[in-house]
Amino acid sequence: MSKRFLVTGATGFVGANLVRRLVKNGDEVHILTRQESNKWRIVDILDQVTEHQVDLRDRFRLQSTLSRVRPDIVYHCAAYGAYSFQQDAIQIAEVNLMGTVNLVMALMEVGYECLINTGSSSEYGRKAKPMAEGDLLEPITAYAATKAAATLFCQAIARSRQQPILTLRLFSPYGPYEDSTRLIPAVIKKCLAGEALELSSGEEARDFFFVDDLVDLYLRVASLRWSPGDIVNVGSGKQHTVREIVNNVIALTGANVRPLWGALPPRDFDTKFWVADITKAKLLFDWTPKVSLDEGLRRTIEWQRASNKASQQL
């Protein structure tokens, strides 16, 4: 019997890649969007999904929508505050925490098979070792604090009321459809255009992994057994500095550009150590990312070239 999928945050980077895969698989897909949602990532497949215009902060409209849709598998990817231009602390709290609370409580009313909540590695704060799920959470931004609160709420409800909720705590996925202000797409765009690269010191590090590996895991966990309230890190288990990423992109694009290291000031949340301990994902789901950094960057560059070409033909 086919499953009915619901995706929140379907117009964002992670949600859009997930929706595109579900559509490709021929699944019945429902998405939640807001009136102001920018649908450029999924505009070509909107006729293959069922769209419901509802804000997660509107719990009554959300409840009504879910009672009609009655989804089996729910992927909660909606979030606010991950970008530097999203600074409204009240909206960050309303979307990330209350939006999650509203979704969980509404689903409990209508019934569902599982909810996969999307967490963030920023919940951990700065650590001097690979971050493990049992580590103390020490968020240093409003976004990180509200994501941590949402994760803990999901865990508490799952355990106390035996609800099928799992949180995947993401490190740094990248790939097609990522926002152009992010490091990797920004560097690729400038390299393809032959523009100078204004960068920070280049010593900042992140645990980057290709978005297709993430989507594979999203689909995989929906059919596996796990304990209500489980939290699982998703990353590569390796970290790469900004300098490594930039040099790889320059080499793969063959660009004749000069990195201007130190042209941008450091950010408060940047660190030279940021890597996931993915032992739990390996043991629980038999999952490790398959796409190497070079291959992932190559695929992302190819996608960007194709996107540029399509834009020029319009």
Question: 59-105: per-residue pLDDT in tens?
Answer: 999 999 999 999 999 999 999 998 877 889 999 999 999 999 999 99
CB 299 within 8 A of CB 175: yes
3-state secondary structure of 166: strand
Domain 4-173+208-234 sits in CATH 3.40.50.720 = yes
Question: 190-224: per-residue pLDDT in tens?
Answer: 999 999 999 989 999 999 999 999 999 999 999 99
pTM: 0.96
Pairing relation of β-strands 205-206 and 240-241? antiparallel
Q: Is the pLDDT of residue 247 over 60?
A: yes
> pLDDT confidence of 145, banded at 50, 70, 90?
very high
- pLDDT confidence of residue 314: 56
- pLDDT confidence of residue 59: 96
CB 45 within 8 A of CB 20: yes
> pLDDT confidence of 129, banded at 50, 70, 90?
very high
Question: Phi and psi for 66 in degrees, rounded to 5?
Answer: -65, -30
- pLDDT confidence of residue 313: 65
Q: How far apart are CA 150 and CA 101, in angstroms?
A: 7
Q: How far apart are CA 257 and CA 192, in angstroms?
A: 9
Neighbours of 35 (CB within 10 A): 7
Q: What is the DSSP letter of 264?
A: S
Region 46-56: mean pLDDT is 98
Residue count of the chain:
314
Fold of the CATH domain 179-206+238-276+293-313: UDP-galactose 4-epimerase; domain 1 (3.90.25)
CB 44 within 8 A of CB 85: no
> pLDDT confidence of 110, banded at 50, 70, 90?
very high
Instruction: Provide the mean pLDDT of the chain.
Output: 95
Pairing relation of β-strands 240-241 and 28-33? unpaired
296 vs 311: which has the higher pLDDT: 296
C-alpha separations of 89 from 85, 142, 268, 287 in Å: 12, 6, 17, 35
Region 47-56: mean pLDDT is 98
**Domain-by-domain residue ranges, the chain?**
4-173+208-234, 179-206+238-276+293-313
